Amino acid sequence: MGDPSPVSAGSLRTYYGQPVLKQPEWTWEVPWYLFTGGLAGASTGLAWGARTTGRPGLAATSRLIGATAAAVSPVLLVMDLGRPQRFINMLRVFKPTSAMSMGSWLLSAFVPAALSSGVLGATGRLPRTQRLAEGAAAVLGLPMCTYTAVLLADSSIPVWHEARHHLPFVFAGSAAAGAGAVATLLAPAAEVPPARRLAVAGAVGELVAAEVMKHRLGRLADPYHQGGAGRWARAATACTASGATLLTLPGRPRGERRSPGMSVGASLGAALVLAGGICQRWAVFRAGFASAADPRYTVGPQRERRRAQAG
Amino acid sequence: MPVAASHPTLSDYITYGTAGKGFWGNTGAYLTSLLKAWWGDAATADNDYCYGHLPRLTGDHSAYRTALDMLDGKVEGYLLFGENPAVGSANSRLHRLALAQLDWLVVRDLGEIESATFWRDGPEIEAGELRTEGIATEVFLLPAAAHTEKDGSFTNTERLLQWHTKAVEPAGDCRSDLWFCFHLGRILREKLAMSSERRDRSLLDLTWDYPTEGPLAEPSAAAVLAEINGCDADGRPLDGYGRLADDGSTSCGCWIYAGCYADGVNQTARRRPGQGPSGVAPDWGWAWPDNRRILYNRASAAPDGTPWSQRKRYVWWDGASGRWTGHDRPDFVVDREPDHVPAPHARGVAALGGCDPFLLQADGKGWLYAPDGLADGPLPAHYEPHESPVGNPLYRQRANPARRRFPHAANPSGPGDGPGAGDDRRYPFVTTTYRIAEHHTAGGMSRFQRRLSELAREMFVEVHPELAALRGLERGGWATIVTSRSAIEARVLVTERMAPLEVGGRRLHQVGLPYHWGHGGLAPGDAANDLFPIVVDPNVTIQEVKAATCDIVAGRRPRGAALRPFVESHARPRDTSPSGDENAGVPAPFPHQNGAVGG
Amino acid sequence: MSGLIGPEGGPAPGATGVRFGFFTDSSICIGCKACEVACKEWNGVPDHPLDFTANSYDNTGTLGANAWRHVAFVEQGTTTSGRGGNGPGAGAADFRWLMSSDVCKHCSSPACLEVCPTGALFTTEFGTVVVQDDVCNGCGYCVTACPFGVIERRESDGGAWKCTMCYDRMRGAREPACAQACPTDSIQFGPLDELRVRASARLAEVVAAGEERAQLYGHDQTDGVGGTGALFLLLDDPEVYRLPPDPVTPTRRLARMWAMAGAAAGALAALLAGSLAGGTGGGRHR
């Protein structure tokens, strides 16, 4: 491994090269939750927006996507607990210093709203309640997409904490891209264009935010260029960029029987953007582990800071 | 212990043990009181105080001689109390082979130590040298109680006795050593009660009447201490060895302990910390002899009895009261003036002059020149260890000529005496053994404990980075260490602490081995003592396990039947041409890896 | 020692509300690991199966769910420079063997506690930080938050575990097991204010004795964690002992993080609005 720290390796001392920090305990459920939470949050927003702008088809599709992703999200979170049977302890306290506490409360408001909006919307029952739920889900959906960035950044994991100002924008872009991409794939063709625009705009936002984040991280961004996290990050950039490009190309109709606005290229593009968002979450997740595993990411910047203070 | 041929009567033995001057002048009183403590009323002046009941030495009965005799089939049975020779004794492999020649073996320990399991899982079983079915030794493993599970005393090297009280009853079948010995004696005496054989009198005449207490019928340890302390004709506890008499009126189990139960109080159980600036805590525990914290403390005063240093004064002559006084109990005849000159033919204590502080020396003086008592005196000298890669820079005599070597096929040595010993390419390094804080000696009290085992789980070897580079040893990897006795494997710890020595114009590398590991327990590993020969010093027969010559190679040792051929091939003479290549002719630990075993 | 310490070495009965702590003076640590053993015995901490590390005599490796005290062994310098190791002790002048018993820092602003979503972590009446095992649901958030890498989730039961400073013993007016077991008083327990004074005095002594790199760790109450309840006197920089040189409680920057998350959510709303504002597929095309 190269010298990842802002100070030279020669002057950087560690305890037998062993990590200062613990590896996060979190497992595969968490990056998937980062994805489903963002997908759910942005889709409910898209559903509400589509309905209010008179796109019932897009609204219905997004509503269902949002409800489905919202239903999966808490399951993933509970599965990740060391003691899943005690998930309800999350609601013992309301703690603004804990992003997970805030997220739990947010989730416990958002999920019922998104689910009832989805179920009632699909069944057509209790329309006023449905609208209320849909509005609530749309409002709550916005922080659903970005609080997870605080969840990661409010830690001592170097690449997460030091990216605290940029990670929310990466996740926001990724959420928008994901919601747009899924809707592009599943919505009635006539109402796809806004979803496509959302996918493209989100993808561009995600890419730009991720690049700014890595740039600002400086040498700390090395995990995004190396090892497993590096592969996820490269995949994320490649998928998102190519997918967004495909989505912006004017496409040929995919088939007579399907929606006229949809092309093979666009479908592929949407799928790529979606995959890019998943890879992006995994890249961030894995980079956190890599940065915790190497003491130089912890000691280097801190030693630099001490020197700056002393000097 | 009396020697059969030399000391047929008590007076012979007393004469042998009596010095003309000082406190060894009273040997008769000490011995008679000891015999009275053991055989009580049965011991009378008419029967030499049962001197005839004492076992006699008929030769060398030291542990190492006995082990070699065992190996040669001359020993039937053996009792091991808290010792683990299969790991802890020099040439521990020899001890395992020897134990396998016994008819019976009693092991009393806290766990199932290697000396109790050699017959089923010892390294020799793995190597095919021994077969379980072929071992006739009947092993009785008796679980022992720990110090927390029994009353008793610790005696430290500074002679301090500190009493400890049982905290919990021993679990299951665990019993104290005292319990075992007392009840074994009780049962034997019961079985022999009807015997009219003379040879059984020594057992039947014993005072064996210790009170027992509690659900396990535990003998009173305090009663044993009281017996050791001794008592006078009226049964009153003695307050010091000065009261001992040679007329059978006093009994005392150990003369230097007289006073530890003075006034019928267990003095060793006292717990009053030291007061004042002297640093002496006379009311904490009890020190033998006479609760004296520093021996020969009269020497802390100048010949005229005034302290050498006022600041550090310790014991001094108080002219006003005509007595020695100070922070400690004066280790001197308390009213003997500093300028006292003994009468010309005085003997014993009376022969001590006022300037003779070393009371247990035959002339009361400290000795630099020791014409008597040392097997390799009279002056200190430098000798190289029994095995050394260098010659003696001071004398032609390389190693101590009086050392005891126990020649035996199972106890070979590396480079011998004489010129050229240092050029032995087979064993170019020196190895030493030592302890680490995490384990206790042969591991019986630590390698069977989770908390301690996890702190130091694996046998390791410490080498300097230069030696690691020389031999291709990888940090954290495996290395095989080989001597003419055996080969063991250990994980490699590369450290600057193992500094090479510059000796005899060459850079000599050290191989450091902690000796706590054995094949059993929660933290098993090869035993370092497998590598060392049985060679002992001539005075107190302490084994030489601090220095030997060895070789070290990368990788694990050969397993099973391949081990002995590896050790033997390594021992074959090798080309000693001064090629400068340290690795020349070094066989690989796994012969098949290099096609053939070198040598 | 003040009246805040009782006869058993623990907090005196009237000492609740006083912050207690450790002062670990590594200059007199002998690396015996008695603290590790005493801690495990008292607290019933499970074994941590670990291989031989080859890192000096440290086979514990790190603090964690199953190691609440950890003695670090640091070997510095060489023995063969200078006169080339000629004779005992020669050339050893520039070699030294540092040992230091690490423990949970019981931070003034404890990140583990602040991020805990269940309230399982709390500050005791002694100013120490303790996990309530019957509340912890094993979310692992404290593990990522701790800037010292101390707290860890235990594989066998899924809960987070760390040093409690022997909360049960303290409530029983006894000092923590590690401090009691330490044979050299390298680990001292007491009211934090007194320990802070003692630590400063000891540092002056050690520096005066020629240990120029000696320093206190956790003593500066303006540092990123507000100072710690477990102070250390180190003979070299913290990272040499695997301690972070400038730890920061991440929640200190939380307000800004929430603000950025809000801004990002706003940006997302703008993206949604922008996408939906455009033509095609909208109501006007019905």
CA distance C264 to C278: 21
Closest CA to B251 of B54, B53, B41: B41
Looking at residue A5, what is its pLDDT?
36
Burial grade of C175 (CB within 10 A; 0-12, 13-18, 19 or more) = buried
A134 and A177 both lie in a single domain = no
A69 domain-assigned = yes
pLDDT, tens digit, 9 for 90 and up, residues A233-258: 999 999 999 999 999 987 554 444 44
Give the count of alpha carbons within 13 A of C279, CB side only.
Answer: 1
A270 and A184 both lie in a single domain = yes
Of B160, B188, B218, at which residue does a domain stop?
B218
Helix (H, G, I), strand (E, B) or coil at B493: strand
Say if residue C1's pLDDT is above 60.
no
Q: Does an H or E element contain B141, and which?
A: strand B138-143
A167 and A294 both lie in a single domain = yes
CA angle B91, B93, B95 (to 5 degrees): 80
C227 domain-assigned = yes
What is the greatest pairwise CA distance in chain A?
72
- The beta-strand segments (E) located in B214-312 are 218-219, 286-287
Structural domains counted in chain C: 2
Give the count of alpha carbons within 13 A of A65, CB side only.
Answer: 35
CA distance A191 to A261: 9
Closest residue in chain C to residue B453, using alpha carbons only: C47
Could you write out the DSSP letters of every residue in A117-186? HHHHHHHT--HHHHHHHHHHHHHHHHHHHHHHHHHHHSSS-HHHHTTTTTHHHHHHHHHHHHHHHHHHHH
- Among the partner-chain residues C32, C41, C75, the one whose CB lies closest to the CB of B495 is C75
Range of the domain at B372: 367-571+586-599
Q: And the tokens for B580?
A: 């400068």
Looking at residue B506, what is its pLDDT?
84
State the smallest CA–CA distance between residue A95 and chain C in angstroms: 7
C115 domain-assigned = yes
A56 and A114 both lie in a single domain = yes
CA distance B153 to C62: 38
Looking at residue A2, what is its pLDDT?
37
Q: Is the CB of residue B554 less than 8 Å from the CB of residue B473?
A: yes
C257 and C244 both lie in a single domain = no
Query: A43-52, A140-149, B95-104, C85-94: lowest mean pLDDT where?
Result: C85-94
Helix (H, G, I), strand (E, B) or coil at B80: strand
Burial grade of B208 (CB within 10 A; 0-12, 13-18, 19 or more) = middle
Interface residue of C271, C280, C284, C286 to substitute, partner A, most A CBs within 10 Å: C271
- Asked if C56 and B493 come within 8 Å (Cβ–Cβ), the reply is yes
Strands B478-482 and C160-161, by their bridges, are unpaired
Closest CA to B128 of B559, B520, B487: B559
Higher per-residue pLDDT: C281 or B67? B67
Helix (H, G, I), strand (E, B) or coil at B568: helix
Distance set, CA C29 to CA A25, A206, A274, B37, B550 (Å): 32, 52, 56, 48, 34
A187 domain-assigned = yes
Q: And the tokens for A206?
A: 């995600």
Percent above pLDDT 70 for chain A: 93
A5 domain-assigned = no
State the smallest CA–CA distance between residue C143 and chain A in angstroms: 6
Interface membership of A223 toward C (CB under 8 Å): no
- Asked if C245 and A147 come within 8 Å (Cβ–Cβ), the reply is no
Of B156, B189, B218, at which residue does a domain stop?
B218
What type of residue is B591?
Answer: P
- Among the partner-chain residues A96, A156, A198, the one whose CB lies closest to the CB of C272 is A198
A193 and A211 both lie in a single domain = yes
Looking at residue B392, what is its pLDDT?
87
Closest CA to C98 of C246, C220, C245, C213: C213
Neighbouring chains to C with at least 3 Cβ pairs closer than 8 Å: A, B
CATH number at residue C186: 3.30.70.20
Q: What count of other Cβ atoms lies within 10 Å of the Cβ of residue B132? A: 12
C179 and C257 both lie in a single domain = no
A297 and A165 both lie in a single domain = yes
pLDDT, tens digit, 9 for 90 and up, residues B330-379: 999 999 999 999 998 888 888 889 999 998 887 888 888 988 888 898 99
C145 and C183 both lie in a single domain = yes
Give the pLDDT band of residue A3 (cuts 50, 70, 90).
very low
Give the pLDDT band of residue C92 (cuts 50, 70, 90).
low
Quote the DSSP letter at residue C241.
Answer: G
CA distance A155 to C114: 11
C161 and C266 both lie in a single domain = no
State the smallest CA–CA distance between residue B481 and chain C in angstroms: 17
Range of the domain at A190: 156-311
Quote the DSSP letter at residue A250.
Answer: P
CA distance B598 to B570: 8
CATH number at residue B501: 2.40.40.20
C55 and C136 both lie in a single domain = yes
Judging contacts by C-beta atoms under 8 Å, the chain B residues touching residue C57 are 436-438, 456
C21 and C40 both lie in a single domain = yes
Interface membership of C31 toward B (CB under 8 Å): yes
Range of the domain at C47: 16-84+92-248
Looking at residue A7, what is its pLDDT?
36
Of A154, A184, A214, at which residue does a domain stop?
A154
C132 domain-assigned = yes
- Asked if C37 and B491 come within 8 Å (Cβ–Cβ), the reply is no
- Asked if C264 and A149 come within 8 Å (Cβ–Cβ), the reply is yes
Could you write out the DSSP letters of every residue in B391-432? --SS-S--B-TT-B----TTS--SS-SSTTGGG-SSS-EEEE
C255 and C206 both lie in a single domain = no
Interface membership of A7 toward C (CB under 8 Å): no
Of A154, A184, A203, at which residue does a domain stop?
A154
Interface residue of A97, A147, A213, A247 to substitute, partner C, most C CBs within 10 Å: A97
A2 domain-assigned = no
C11 domain-assigned = no
Interface membership of C157 toward A (CB under 8 Å): yes
A142 and A43 both lie in a single domain = yes
**Which residues, 6 or more positions from B191, have their beta carbon under 8 angstroms from its beta carbon?**
none
Of A119, A154, A189, at which residue does a domain stop?
A154
C148 and C255 both lie in a single domain = no
CA pseudo-torsion sign A42, A47, A51, A55: positive
Closest residue in chain C to residue A87, using alpha carbons only: C137
B291 domain-assigned = no
- Among the partner-chain residues C55, C146, C264, the one whose CB lies closest to the CB of A172 is C264
- Asked if C159 and A83 come within 8 Å (Cβ–Cβ), the reply is yes
- The beta-strand segments (E) located in A245-304 are none
- Asked if C265 and A145 come within 8 Å (Cβ–Cβ), the reply is yes
C108 and C152 both lie in a single domain = yes
- Among the partner-chain residues A98, A149, A201, the one whose CB lies closest to the CB of C141 is A98
Closest residue in chain C to residue B514, using alpha carbons only: C57
A47 domain-assigned = yes
Strands C96-103 and C69-76, by their bridges, are antiparallel
C157 and C99 both lie in a single domain = yes
Structural domains counted in chain A: 2
CATH number at residue A49: 1.20.1630.10
Average of pLDDT values for C96-104?
A: 97
Helix (H, G, I), strand (E, B) or coil at C264: helix
State the smallest CA–CA distance between residue C175 and chain B in angstroms: 21
- Among the partner-chain residues C137, C246, C264, the one whose CB lies closest to the CB of A86 is C137
Interface membership of A90 toward C (CB under 8 Å): yes
Looking at residue A10, what is its pLDDT?
57
Tens of pLDDT along chain B (599 residues) come to 788 788 888 888 888 888 766 677 788 999 999 999 999 999 999 999 999 999 999 888 889 999 999 999 999 999 999 999 999 999 999 999 999 999 999 999 999 999 999 999 999 999 999 999 999 999 999 999 999 999 999 999 999 999 999 999 999 999 999 999 999 999 999 999 999 999 999 999 999 999 999 999 999 999 999 999 999 999 999 999 989 999 999 999 999 999 999 999 999 999 999 888 888 999 999 999 999 999 999 999 999 999 999 999 999 999 999 999 999 999 999 999 999 999 988 888 888 899 999 988 878 888 889 888 888 989 989 999 999 888 888 888 889 999 999 999 999 987 655 444 556 788 999 999 999 999 999 999 999 999 999 999 999 999 999 999 999 999 999 999 999 999 999 999 999 999 999 887 889 999 999 999 999 999 999 999 999 999 999 988 899 999 999 999 999 999 999 999 999 999 887 654 444 444 434 444 433 333 333 33
- Among the partner-chain residues C149, C268, C281, the one whose CB lies closest to the CB of A146 is C268
A248 and A213 both lie in a single domain = yes
Average of pLDDT values for C168-179?
A: 96
B476 domain-assigned = yes
Interface membership of C67 toward A (CB under 8 Å): no
C54 domain-assigned = yes
C141 and C199 both lie in a single domain = yes
C107 domain-assigned = yes
Interface membership of A221 toward C (CB under 8 Å): no
A68 and A129 both lie in a single domain = yes
Of B218, B237, B270, at which residue does a domain stop?
B218
- Among the partner-chain residues C114, C152, C254, the one whose CB lies closest to the CB of A22 is C152
C150 domain-assigned = yes
Structural domains counted in chain B: 2
C107 and C143 both lie in a single domain = yes
A175 and A307 both lie in a single domain = yes
Judging contacts by C-beta atoms under 8 Å, the chain C residues touching residue B454 are 47-50, 59-60
CA distance B83 to B77: 15
Interface membership of A197 toward C (CB under 8 Å): yes
Interface B:C, Cβ pairs < 8 A: 73
| Residue B561 dihedral angles phi and psi, to the nearest 5° | -70, -10
Q: And the tokens for B146?
A: 């720990």
B110 domain-assigned = no
A123 and A247 both lie in a single domain = no
Closest CA to B536 of B62, B97, B92: B62
Q: What is the CA radius of gyration of chain B?
A: 28
Peptide bond preceding B289 in cis form (omega within 30 of 0): yes
Q: And the tokens for A218?
A: 């400086």
Q: Does an H or E element contain C131, and which?
A: strand C129-131
Judging contacts by C-beta atoms under 8 Å, the chain B residues touching residue C75 are 495-497
A282 and A179 both lie in a single domain = yes
Looking at residue A257, what is its pLDDT?
44
